[in-house]
Structure 1
Amino acid sequence: MRTLFLFLLCIIFSIVGYSQSKMSTNTSLLLMSLKHDTLSIENSKKIDKRFAVRKLGNARYVNAFIHLSETDAIFNALRELEVKVNSRFSGLITACVPINKIEAIAMLDDVKYVETGTPVTIMMDNARTDMKIDELHSGVDLPHPFLGTGVIVGVVDLGIEYGHVNFWNYDQSELRVKRVWNHYDTTGTPPQGFNYGTELTTKDEILNAKYDTDINLHGTHVAGIAAGADTISNKFYGVAGDADLVFVGYDIQRDGMDNVGICDGMKYIFDYAASVDKPCVINLSLGSYLGSHDGTSTFDKLTDSMVGKGKIVVEAAGNASGKQSHISKTFTSELSDSLSSFLGWRISNSREVDIWGDEGMKFTIQLYAYNSSDKIVKKTFDVIDASLETGNEKIYKLNGYNGIKGTLSVVSEINPLNGKPHVFISPDFNRIVGSNYIGFTIRAYSFGRVDAWANEDTYFTDLNVSGYTKGDEQGSISDFACGKRNISVGAYVTKNSYIDCDGKEYDTENSMGDIAPFSSLGPTSDGRMKPDVTAPGAAIVSSVSSYCIFHESYPVINKKIWNDQIYFYNVMEGTSMASPCVAGVVATWLQANNNLTPEDVKSILKKTSIQDSFTGRLPEEGSNTWGYGKLNAWEGVKECLKMNPEGIESETVKPVIILSNDSNGFNLLFTQPSDHTKISVFDINGRQIYDRQINGVGSGEEIPIRLEGVSSGLYIVKVQSRQSSLVLKMILK
């Protein structure tokens, strides 16, 4: 009988371990939190916000990625467990999952891994001139202005005022917002194929809804930078003002936000763009500092799979530079060596730390309570082996012990997506007073590297204790920005002083032209250069939601009355502002070349980005501060035209375009093949100063015309061939 009991006990524990190994650390943390919930209303609300729990009918659901074998049986089983499938990808779905059935879902044979959504945060902490947007808008040396015409700009964000004057067309006669999906509005119908939120598809629906939340304004600012068109008596408009807009909105303060919903939002936007046969760029001024930072996360892989020809995603690099949010150590021959640090917190909520080792690496971690005044360890917790296949789940209650009250949760796994040992630490303290800290020590028993990242409200400190490590800013980039096919954007300074509507002067003391002090740095943990490029992101003026109750918490630079309503333009800063600068520019590039891929965009950035006295001379592979340099919209669109001249509208394209004129001459870009071509240049008196015969020129080929010794001024360029005859005017600088 005793043998049978032990046998059954072993089976029970193997089942528990099996299901646990198929759940992410975030999923395990959710279940642990629910099991230890005091059932107080305050605590339940905290759990619901942290994990973005929503009510669907009478049940509580969370968003999740589910990795699975795609069989009819598995989808039938998921339906029986009341799982609501949203997006389907190869070997993966996004779904709304009942929180009381997560363990049952993980135990299904065809389910490989259940990953509830990771919380995300907004990346907020003279731009057009610096990026050469004015030349782009004016059509200087171009066949016509480039304003994002015929392109979709998608924005996944929060705090969006749908009918802001900045989102109408240039003459304010037509609303450019074509679709809205509010994830947390339960009053309407979700988009086809999805099971949550409300979709708005008509102008009246969009204008009547007004906004997604009244306690944030971030998304209106972001969208205004990317594609604002309010040029009438206002100089704070955006880049791609002729593009159509699609918004996916959240309410992060009230309901939370996760990366699963963002993936659904991207799919929704790309699907709409495909339905109207237009290229599309999506801006994500959102992110998370938690994750493996190597491009292997489900979010990064899904993003990589969704982009391609005419489909680009631009992401903010993050604002963690200088916040001591990262530490690392490479363990070599000294197996007794260790990595130790203490955790500090800037505010009382949202404290989390993510620790990752190299694939196959073995290490342990031990946490303890430390008092910096007494300089002694007050309490130690278990030594946790991060290398266990079945993982670990530990939760410690501290009921006012030595000034700390709350819980300390630790979850570990061998992550099935990359084979790396992974430890997640989540303190939930109601109180931590005096000189009390949580510390930890990692000891490796194999070779390899360990990295640890803290979320935006947590940092690593050594407390001046010998042998301990304080945080650095290397690798501080958002995990979202670590994908292999996204365009990640850092920020530099183009404004360091301004005056608001009341005449109050502000001075940020940032150095004009230099990298913004908050802009996160690369590299990724697998050694790739990030960010890809930098753009203006410090003290940027753009539209904000007039419905936000906090809209005057930021300096108001301009107020505009239109249709009896006041619209506001405020200053904000962060890589949240730099990212839409690039997204808007990419929209203009997609106008020139509808088929641009992410790889094309990176190639253009590498070739055209500005290097100056602040960036210094950058290496061929770029820099983990500047990427390939500062964005140059004007030179970039020229590269797009060279790659695909046929991408320009046929009724406006010229067979030859003048490019890059300077004191020594100019270049001619041929947008069509040209045989037996004669090129002549005349001064304003009709005197011929240049003559050249070329037998054959290919489409997209650029021909240099050198005019040494010729004075600046107006010249006439005549290009004759079998196909066409063209006369152009050109000002030699």
Structure 2
Amino acid sequence: MAVRELSPKSSISLQIMEDIAPGGDVFAIVQPLAAPRRVVSGAAGADPEAAVIVEADEGTDIAPLLARAEAKQVADLGGGLYAAIVPVKKASIVYEHANVRFVEAQKQKRTMLEKALVDGMVGLPSSRKVAGRGDGVVVGIIDSGFDLSHPAFRDGNNKLRVDALLEQKFNGTTFSAREFSTAQLEAGWNTGGNRPGFDEDGHGTHVASIAAGSPFNAVSGVAPDARFVLVKTDFIRLAEATKWCFDKADGRPAVVNMSLGGHHGAHDGASAEERALDRLSGPGRIVVLAAGNERIDNIHVGARLAEGQTETATLDMSTEEGGITIVCWYGNKDRFDVSLVSPSGTVMAAPGMNREAKFNANGARVTIGRTAQTRHKSVEVLIDARIKSSTDLSDFKGWKLRVTCTKAEPGRFDAWITGNGRFRDGAFVESARTIGLPATATRVIAVASHVTKNAWRSDDGPQTAPAAVVGRSSRFSSRGPTRDGREKPEISAPGEMITAALAAGSEEAENSERAGTPTRTLTIEGTSMATPFVSGVIALMLERRHQLDPEGVVAALQATAVKDAHTGPTNWTPEYGHGKISAQALVNHVNQMAPSAVVVTAAGSLLADVGQAYARPAAAPQAKRVGSGGKKKTGVARKAKKKR
């Protein structure tokens, strides 16, 4: 076992990236799903870079420091928070500086209408029940990409309704970003063009069309007259993407949608990324995030332990993604002994405070670090297990996370698996507190999913999902509250089974059980689909009240949420938040307020794929094919399994 000191001024993940020997996988610790696109630190070419958020003393000029660390793509997020790209080997130059409070490596996230429009009280294009269409409002979508040839993105004159598109890229070593204007997008999406922002996955096209798609095939998005600003994201630099969206709105009211998330963090709203999103939110600037799809995935263990009590959770790792990371958190007044036990019985104990230990067991390289996190008022124990090559894959079943409480004030312990692994059923496994980051931020709106449809038509004919009970919370929809006890999600919206735009040539288009090729539609489910429904409704609210702030949105959601036999009468539940959304009631509620003035100006210019999209897998196990039809494709099913 090798032990070294850790700095309390940097995330454990960033320091492990610095410490990985040549030939190791530098990015596995923050990108557990990037296996097909990873490069190792010993590979030829540029030094690996890390996307970070730097928290400095407010008012301090850290530009010279960042220049000395060779940082690039620096973005001032406000309040002393700066996003930047830094070479991994120079990260310590930043976090060791006296005026820097903390440096956090940004973590990878994943991508997680007709019936939905009716049940959400919007109405079909021919019979809308709600006033307004989003005119003068900007809808930002940060997602996997977009099929801009689809009629959902074009007006009645076949002109793009997109003011700008930002394409973030990560090639396994370095980060880049490029902006495209409307004119460049029109040219790029002409026949033979380079199709900027192309949606290889299909998730982003579907999401965007739900929020604000133009009418097609007798349906439309919730706010079909809003303008789009779009980000094809690397699923890492979310705060920078959000700032770009609000900047491009250029004074117009805007709502930014992120149907994605992850679990690499404290789930308490105090991470640098979450606080950056809180600061970017404000009057006329609303951020909406998917709550997550992990309720039944056994990715979380948690409980209050008494002094002397030991709990053990058995876990299995998938070998497809090269390993897993377990992030453990407990209050700074508590004391816990934490160990990972291999199937052969090797006990790998977490070291003391601000230390990191390395082990080898059962074909895995295991790194365990422990640091006190002042801004979280908590202690983090991070366990990273990487599978060595030529290893007996059976060795990755039956590992154990063993936790003993040695001081309880109050003795609460929580841990989440990131990457493709799961805890086996047991008393320590908890479906509560499975809201993903950054939906646990304080000022963002977190959206849960409920069922509004369980039958649809596809290329394979009629389909049904008999386990999806109409009106009930979706079985996958993550449950609140946050780790620090706040009421998340705020609202539930239609998320299963949602028919919206299909991206031509995408992986989703290969799933004949879900794709409707002649109508250019796709039917999938997830909090990913519920979230843009809410974003679209908020666009309608902003159309009337331009300066509505996040607190005003939450108050309106709380005042108008629908209660029924499924939600129960209580003000808030872990499954539904304050209840089910009613667009009609929300817009009527806002219409009772005095409208505010806004200056609508032209969009400005830019100054100087990996991911969990919160869509459930396209070939979901509960979907049952009942009709005959075309031959079922298998490519998406393989990809969907990887995305879980």
TM-score range, shorter chain: 0.7 to 0.9
Distance 1:602 1:95, change over 3 A: same
Is 1:67 the counterpart of 2:47? The answer is: no
Aligned equivalent of 1:460 = 423
Aligned equivalent of 2:109 = 120
Matched-pair contact (CA < 8 Å) for 2:125–2:219? no
After alignment, is 290-299 or 216-225 more displaced? 290-299
Is 1:263 the counterpart of 2:239? The answer is: yes
Matched-pair contact (CA < 8 Å) for 1:85–1:93? no
Aligned equivalent of 1:395 = 358
Aligned equivalent of 2:394 = 433
Shift of 1:508: 4.2
Amino acid across the alignment from 1:307: S
Amino acid across the alignment from 1:443: T
Aligned equivalent of 1:380 = 347
Aligned equivalent of 2:580 = 630
Is 1:293 the counterpart of 2:272? The answer is: no
For residues 275-329 of structure 1, give each alpha carbon's deviation from its aligned partner in whole angstroms, at most 9, with x where no partner exists.
2x31000001010123111111112111111111111011100001111222222
SS in structure 2 at match of 1:514: coil
Shift of 1:215: 3.2
Is 1:534 the counterpart of 2:517? The answer is: no
Q: Structure 1: how far apart are the matches of 2:53 and 2:543? A: 34
Aligned equivalent of 2:8 = 21
Shift of 1:534: 0.5
Q: Structure 2: how far apart are the matches of 1:419 and 1:558? A: 50
Q: Structure 2: how far apart are the matches of 1:118 and 1:453? A: 14
Q: Structure 2: how far apart are the matches of 1:642 and 1:586? A: 15
Is 1:610 the counterpart of 2:610? The answer is: no
Q: CA RMSD in A?
A: 3.1
For residues 169-208 of structure 1, give each alpha carbon's deviation from its aligned partner in whole angstroms, at most 9, with x where no partner exists.
2x2432101110001189xxxxxxxx93110013333550
Is 1:243 the counterpart of 2:216? The answer is: no
Q: Structure 1: how far apart are the matches of 2:153 and 2:40? A: 29
Aligned equivalent of 1:369 = 342
Shift of 1:93: 0.7
Match of 1:484 among 421, 437, 442: 442
1:537-686 to 2 correspondence within 5 Å? 537-553=495-511, 555-559=513-517, 568-617=520-569, 619-620=570-571, 622-645=572-595
Aligned equivalent of 2:90 = 101
Higher share in strand: 1
Q: Structure 1: how far apart are the matches of 2:281 and 2:199? A: 32
Q: Structure 2: how far apart are the matches of 1:39 and 1:475? A: 29
Matched-pair contact (CA < 8 Å) for 2:337–2:349? no
Is 1:343 the counterpart of 2:315? The answer is: yes
For residues 501-523 of structure 1, give each alpha carbon's deviation from its aligned partner in whole angstroms, at most 9, with x where no partner exists.
34243334311111111000001
Aligned equivalent of 1:33 = 20
Distance 1:134 1:52, change over 3 A: farther
For residues 154-181 of structure 1, give each alpha carbon's deviation from its aligned partner in whole angstroms, at most 9, with x where no partner exists.
0011132233211112x24321011100
SS in structure 1 at match of 2:20: helix
Amino acid across the alignment from 1:511: V
1:440-455 to 2 correspondence within 5 Å? 440-447=401-408, 448-455=411-418
Shift of 1:545: 1.7
Q: Structure 1: how far apart are the matches of 2:186 and 2:455? A: 36
SS in structure 2 at match of 1:534: strand
SS in structure 2 at match of 1:445: strand
Matched residues, number? 577
Amino acid across the alignment from 2:403: I
Greater Cα radius of gyration, structure 1 or 2: 1
Distance 1:592 1:301, change over 3 A: same
Shift of 1:459: 1.9
SS in structure 2 at match of 1:438: strand
Distance 1:94 1:381, change over 3 A: same
For residues 545-583 of structure 1, give each alpha carbon's deviation from its aligned partner in whole angstroms, at most 9, with x where no partner exists.
2132452225355445xxxxxx72111111000000100
Q: Structure 1: how far apart are the matches of 2:553 and 2:261? A: 21
TM-score by length of 1: 0.73
Q: Structure 2: how far apart are the matches of 1:358 and 1:196? A: 38
Q: Structure 2: how far apart are the matches of 1:86 and 1:477? A: 29
Q: Structure 1: how far apart are the matches of 2:244 and 2:301? A: 37
Q: Structure 2: how far apart are the matches of 1:436 and 1:45? A: 19
Amino acid across the alignment from 2:581: L
1:100-179 to 2 correspondence within 5 Å? 100-123=89-112, 126-134=115-123, 138=127, 140=129, 145-169=131-155, 171-179=156-164
Shift of 1:75: 2.1
Match of 1:304 among 278, 289, 302: 278
Distance 1:321 1:346, change over 3 A: farther
Aligned equivalent of 2:197 = 212
Amino acid across the alignment from 1:218: H
Identity over aligned pairs, percent: 26
Distance 1:24 1:636, change over 3 A: same
Aligned equivalent of 2:211 = 226
Amino acid across the alignment from 1:175: L
Q: Structure 1: how far apart are the matches of 2:418 and 2:32? A: 22
Shift of 1:627: 0.7
Q: Structure 2: how far apart are the matches of 1:509 and 1:444? A: 40
SS in structure 2 at match of 1:546: coil
Aligned equivalent of 1:673 = none
Matched-pair contact (CA < 8 Å) for 2:460–2:512? no
Shift of 1:77: 2.6
For residues 674-714 of structure 1, give each alpha carbon's deviation from its aligned partner in whole angstroms, at most 9, with x where no partner exists.
xxxxxxxxxxxxxxxxxxxxxxxxxxxxxxxxxxxxxxxxx
Matched-pair contact (CA < 8 Å) for 1:184–1:197? yes
TM-score by length of 2: 0.83
Q: Which runs of 5+ in 1 are unaligned?
A: 1-12, 187-194, 252-256, 371-376, 399-403, 463-467, 561-566, 650-733
Distance 1:515 1:546, change over 3 A: same
Q: Structure 2: how far apart are the matches of 1:361 and 1:415? A: 13
Q: Structure 1: how far apart are the matches of 2:141 and 2:400? A: 40
Matched-pair contact (CA < 8 Å) for 2:60–2:99? no
Amino acid across the alignment from 1:575: T
Aligned equivalent of 1:727 = none
For residues 645-685 of structure 1, give each alpha carbon's deviation from its aligned partner in whole angstroms, at most 9, with x where no partner exists.
45699xxxxxxxxxxxxxxxxxxxxxxxxxxxxxxxxxxxx
Aligned equivalent of 1:693 = none
| Larger RCO (CA within 8 A; separation ≥ 6) | 2
Shift of 1:235: 2.8
Q: Structure 2: how far apart are the matches of 1:199 and 1:52? A: 29
Amino acid across the alignment from 1:106: Y
Distance 1:495 1:51, change over 3 A: farther
For residues 320-344 of structure 1, give each alpha carbon's deviation from its aligned partner in whole angstroms, at most 9, with x where no partner exists.
1111222222234xx2212221222
Q: Structure 2: how far apart are the matches of 1:45 and 1:517? A: 24
Shift of 1:52: 12
